[in-house]
Structure 1
């Protein structure tokens, strides 16, 4: 595109170009604004630095309460004992570079559904259903069909053997005794072989007569014939197939839970959100320790599958962790309109909409009521010394 990013902004449509030309010295220097919206992506182009090299986004705050994590539970570690149990029941090995002087690590837990945009959660759940759940259901159904076929073949073989033994016994004049149990209809016939010189099949049946006698008595209680046994197997298989189908229809995705850790490293509070269970190949020791965003503007990702970034704030001496995300692109869009700056395009097409202006991202959930939003705005302004609030 010949005009670059600058041409994408509707400056002419809203007369912003006229305002900028009439006030060329008003470039947003020493001006800070709060973007009270759905959150801002900390990696967004145009929101990284100002013309004089300062960080664009001054702070990232969650005013909705959805990112709050209570960190009241404590675990103690030392140089020898480094394994703790988290609130999700996992046993985790604390990395060697986590060395709180007091040995205290605060732990908490957070649901992804309280942090992620709805569309992202829906996509992750659909992928889990299509990539793991549905294939498992299909494997179970295939195994069921295979087991049914093998069982039917087994019953057919037994019936043929019984018939062959019965025919062979009736043709030979040998002192043997059949244990009568309607051999033409029962599932198994028990044969007593008294002549050791008879055919091998009969002698084998004779050697196992005692066990056959016990089994015969049990079968007499149920009176199963091969035909009845096959019918029951098919009915049971159909019932299991219906159960699998119903189970698939009522699929309910498992929640994504993140273990959270906070501790004081001797100079400042740091936090870690354990995303390793959902990122193959990652361990807790591989994950970053984040400081409050205002310290060094650090951020991390929930994983390549999510492409969602987050920052943290730590309050009340580590008792409250705040995970700041965004639940749509609207907040980033608003922040870019208000103060975006693209260094690569500034020489040919300079930005005329306050390139030096520094925004503070304030995430406000769309699910909040007007009263809740007003209270959170008032609390935010009091805590951060905001003098004026304007609605865009």
Structure 2
């Protein structure tokens, strides 16, 4: 399986209150699952982590729970660790001296075997390692080091610990995949763990090292194992082995490195174009791909558009948080318990062309040991990278159980069963949660209870990039009703199911959506068509509303979920006096969203919106975050601002520039470190020429 995290996460520096690791396992039922089935801890499963910044020396990344090497192999597809070692020299026989490419002289130790007497030499400047919250420092290079490569008669060897000239105590390494050895390079006050691979008969040395902390945190979250420590320190799949694939370098990262990583993964039998390759990997090799949803929240429609061609075959994971996470990571103690919620930064659906966008969510925070180079022992890390690693590790345990019990599975059936058993908290929507929180204990039981069913023959095949059902209407429209004819052939291959499709029943979910969505027929006609009607009269202006059509099978229940998005836009015109007022109540978990369309009849190049925010709770101190963007421009957030309410200051003003007749989303939410569960605000929007 693959774990492909988002490049950035949020790092909180070390705190004296963080004295030990914390990796949430209860939310996905991993702790319950392993307490009953301790041997189903990821054994027999390989996880390829496609990321950047790996520390191969970390204690939890040495062995699996069975004693196997935790890391099978390491690859750096960025090229930043490559060293040209094609220059060949021989030693001066009289004094056993080798002159490196830097001009430094090295006395070769007698225990270094080199039958040919030929030494391949190179020169390399490694990058200064840094934490994820200091990416501006990433591209700083350290001083050059001489690299020496040779063949000892049985294997290729390399030494890069040459800064002091004395090689007697320098570590000699060979290809990591052969002996699983690493060393620590002491350079300019940094401790830099590294391993190596030698290519092209000694002419190319690949130095694998972590320039940042990201991959190390992801790898530990997914699969760390600590033989001597408490089980709470372990990752989600302590029995799984991992392959580390670095595609994010300090200077460049691109789809080309991602493509190379996917191709290399096939060489390890891990359970043209990237889209074609991903589809081939999933369908022919039965490999699961877990991808972080991104950290562009809390806006809607912020999952990446480029996923649209493969969203039917990958698992896109958002970040959830709980009271326990807030207590252990943020040191926030809630007086009253609250249900799981979505992290502010976690990207939301809908996806491209109206699809659901997210598949599932998992815990998106850990307290964990970072790599060797920073001074901090522990740090807190949050984001969808953590969530995707948590999900991948949890599902690795599920796969371990299925294999041990000889239960056949495919990517399609895994996604279906996880959908069936996911926990969607009450009154929450699938834009934020996807199908819900992964539940691996329930998923395993579902497989066992349906062991006589061939899921692949019952479940329809999804068509890629088909989009879903999308309605949009302005609040000033006289006619609130929209009707549409839908064909199942838009979403699935219907021909293989022509004999059973006539028995499928259509339903609307959730039941509350029946206030604005109506199915005009409960079965499709002979051409797999049916009609639905959307009515916005009961909807709030400025809102995005979710529903879905469930295609019900007589044996398995729902076998297809077709999302429906109804956008009811607030159109700001002269009729409204270019003004909008609203009273809202905010808590930690639920941001307020407003989708509006300013429509000025008289054109003016400079327009603005004055936003007045009044806190109705007097003499309180809290922080609000506001964001806005032009919808569909999801790669860049136009404005982010934190508003601090202090005692005796109940009103704050904020101004944003406005483009005429563009669709905007405005979002306001409490920052997580505010101390109030529910606060009421009065919002007033005034649109005007600047």
TM-score (norm 2): 0.33
The counterpart of 2:129, out of the listed 117, 121, 132, is 117
Residues 81-119 of structure 1 show CA distances to partners (whole Å, capped at 9, x for unaligned) of 522322112222222222311111100010123xx3256
The counterpart of 1:272, out of the listed 152, 155, 159, is 159
Structure 1 distance, partners of 2:73, 2:180, is 8
Once the two structures are TM-superposed, the CA of residue 73 in structure 1 deviates from its matched residue by 0.4
1:329 matched to 2:210? The reply is no
The counterpart of 1:291, out of the listed 174, 178, 181, is 174
Between Structure 1 and Structure 2, whose CA radius of gyration is higher? Answer: 1
Q: Structure 1's 275 and 365: CA in aligned 2 closer, same or farther, altered over 3 A?
A: farther
Residues 153-192 of structure 1 show CA distances to partners (whole Å, capped at 9, x for unaligned) of xxxxxxxxxxxxxxxxxxxxxxxxxxxxxxxxxxxxxxxx
1:276 touches 1:284 (CA, 8 Å); kept in 2? no
What is residue 198 of structure 2 aligned with on the other side? 314
Structure 2 distance, partners of 1:284, 1:26, is 45
Structure 1 distance, partners of 2:142, 2:219, is 32
Give the aligned length.
253
Structure 2 distance, partners of 1:273, 1:292, is 14
Q: Structure 1's 82 and 374: CA in aligned 2 closer, same or farther, altered over 3 A?
A: same
Q: Structure 1's 79 and 335: CA in aligned 2 closer, same or farther, altered over 3 A?
A: same
Structure 2 distance, partners of 1:42, 1:254, is 21
What is residue 50 of structure 1 aligned with on the other side? 64
2:146 touches 2:163 (CA, 8 Å); kept in 1? no
- Of structures 1 and 2, the one with the larger relative CO (CA 8 A, separation 6+) is 1
1:32 matched to 2:46? The reply is yes
Instruction: Give 3-state SS (helix, strand or coil) of 2:190's partner.
Output: coil
Structure 2 distance, partners of 1:352, 1:85, is 46
What is residue 300 of structure 1 aligned with on the other side? 183
- More divergent stretch after superposition (323-332 vs 374-383): 374-383
1:40 touches 1:326 (CA, 8 Å); kept in 2? yes
Instruction: Give 3-state SS (helix, strand or coil) of 1:284's partner.
Output: coil
Map 1:225-244 → 2, pairs under 5 A: none
Q: Structure 1's 349 and 317: CA in aligned 2 closer, same or farther, altered over 3 A?
A: same
Structure 2 distance, partners of 1:23, 1:289, is 41
Unaligned stretches of 5+ residues in structure 2: 1-15, 271-284, 292-387, 389-690
1:344 matched to 2:228? The reply is yes
Q: Structure 1's 336 and 369: CA in aligned 2 closer, same or farther, altered over 3 A?
A: closer
Structure 2 distance, partners of 1:308, 1:52, is 28
Q: Structure 1's 254 and 12: CA in aligned 2 closer, same or farther, altered over 3 A?
A: closer
Q: Structure 1's 105 and 306: CA in aligned 2 closer, same or farther, altered over 3 A?
A: same
Structure 2 distance, partners of 1:288, 1:296, is 13
Residues 264-315 of structure 1 show CA distances to partners (whole Å, capped at 9, x for unaligned) of 11111110003433xxxx7122211111112222111111721211111111
Instruction: Give 3-state SS (helix, strand or coil) of 2:71's partner.
Output: coil
Map 1:8-23 → 2, pairs under 5 A: 8-17=22-31
Q: Structure 1's 364 and 37: CA in aligned 2 closer, same or farther, altered over 3 A?
A: same
Structure 2 distance, partners of 1:274, 1:70, is 17
1:360 matched to 2:225? The reply is no
Once the two structures are TM-superposed, the CA of residue 24 in structure 1 deviates from its matched residue by 5.8
Instruction: Give 3-state SS (helix, strand or coil) of 2:257's partner.
Output: helix
1:260 matched to 2:160? The reply is no
What is residue 207 of structure 1 aligned with on the other side? none
1:70 matched to 2:84? The reply is yes
Structure 2 distance, partners of 1:268, 1:18, is 46
2:125 touches 2:141 (CA, 8 Å); kept in 1? no
What is residue 108 of structure 2 aligned with on the other side? 94
Residues 139-159 of structure 1 show CA distances to partners (whole Å, capped at 9, x for unaligned) of xxxxxxxxxxxxxxxxxxxxx
Structure 2 distance, partners of 1:11, 1:254, is 39
What is residue 98 of structure 2 aligned with on the other side? 84
Once the two structures are TM-superposed, the CA of residue 385 in structure 1 deviates from its matched residue by 4.4
Structure 2 distance, partners of 1:365, 1:352, is 23
Q: Structure 1's 118 and 372: CA in aligned 2 closer, same or farther, altered over 3 A?
A: farther
1:371 matched to 2:255? The reply is yes
What is residue 390 of structure 1 aligned with on the other side? 290
Structure 1 distance, partners of 2:36, 2:192, is 40
Once the two structures are TM-superposed, the CA of residue 67 in structure 1 deviates from its matched residue by 0.6
Instruction: Give 3-state SS (helix, strand or coil) of 2:101's partner.
Output: coil
Unaligned stretches of 5+ residues in structure 1: 126-252
What's the Cα RMSD here?
3.3
Structure 2 distance, partners of 1:53, 1:343, is 9
